[in-house]
Amino acid sequence: MALSDNLTHYYKFDEASGNLVDTVGALTGTANGSPGTDTGIIINGRTFNGTTQNFVLGSDPGTVWSGDGSVSWWAYNTRAHNSGADDSHLSSGSVGEFYGLLHYTDNNLYAGWKGISGDDRVILAASAGNWPQTTWTHYCLTWVNGGTTTLYCNASSIGTKGATSVGTVGSASFFVGATWFSGANFSGRLDEMGFWTRELTGGEVSSLYNSGAGLSYDSIIGGGGGSTFRPRRLALLGVGA
């Protein structure tokens, strides 16, 4: 199976400003509060001020997530793991709540599904290892409906939860850089976020991590798993724009 199989939405976060562009589907991320742009893990990433900036994706990921799924992304957290802050990379809610990764005020991390037949999220104490500060970190959340939810950090499984009950978020919006219920606006940068309607394998997660270099969208759809082309490096050498 190719890494690009069942990839339904992908965001490069390369825009200089404005909305997020969906490279695979047609689900635009509408900007709230004018998120900025800075260096990403690959080319650019979008910046979030921790108070007012986020993107709203709409409800489509919840529609297609009726069974197994995965979401992969890179984050540059600027608040410490023990900050006591409400920080969310990705979330949605309605009949079934979904959290890509939430750092809550209790300094725990929450990832996965809640609210269908119980709490099926991975829950673990935040630490400098799973919520590093001011460094690019790769996260991936995978789940099997009726099976196991797994949270990866830098290609290592850091938590699992069995008997996952996948919900339908219905018309509720997905928020990037915030939660659906109280804001929980993220402070930092995000980059390279992809949604799949299948469980990614541990080997595929390792390919996306790519020894800490990240994997570009072009490499994902081309089946690459090695070095990642980075135009900004050429620019520093005076080659290209």
Residue-wise pLDDT for 52-103, tens only, equals 999 998 766 655 566 899 999 999 999 999 999 999 999 886 656 888 999 9
User: pLDDT tens, 219-237?
Assistant: 999 965 444 434 333 333 3
Percentage, residues of the chain above pLDDT 90: 68
Q: Identify the pLDDT of residue 234.
A: 32
Count of residues in the chain:
241
Overall average pLDDT of the 30-51 stretch: 97
CATH of domain 7-236: 2.60.120.200
CA 152 to chain centre: 11
Beta-sheet strand order (sheet of 30-32): 30-32, 54-58, 174-176, 87-92, 97-103, 108-114, 119-125
3-class secondary structure, 88 = strand
117-121, 139-143, 165-169, 197-201: the lowest-pLDDT one: 165-169
Half-sphere exposure of 72 (CA within 13 A, CB side): 30
Q: With H, G, I as helix, E, B as strand and everything else as coil, classify residue 234.
A: helix
pTM of the predicted protein model: 0.89
Residue 32: its pLDDT value, please?
94
- What pLDDT is attached to residue 42? 98
pLDDT at position 33 over 70: yes
| Residue 9 β-bridge partners | 195
Residue 41 — very low, low, confident or very high, per pLDDT cuts 50/70/90?
very high
Residue 181 binned pLDDT confidence (cut-offs 50, 70, 90): confident
What average pLDDT is seen over the chain? 87
Residue 182, judged by CB atoms within 10 A of its CB (0-12, 13-18, 19+), counts as exposed
Look at residues 20, 22, 38 and name the one whose alpha carbon lies nearest to residue 30. 20
Predicted pLDDT at 223: 67
State the DSSP H helix or E strand holding residue 239, giving kind and residue range, or none if neither: none
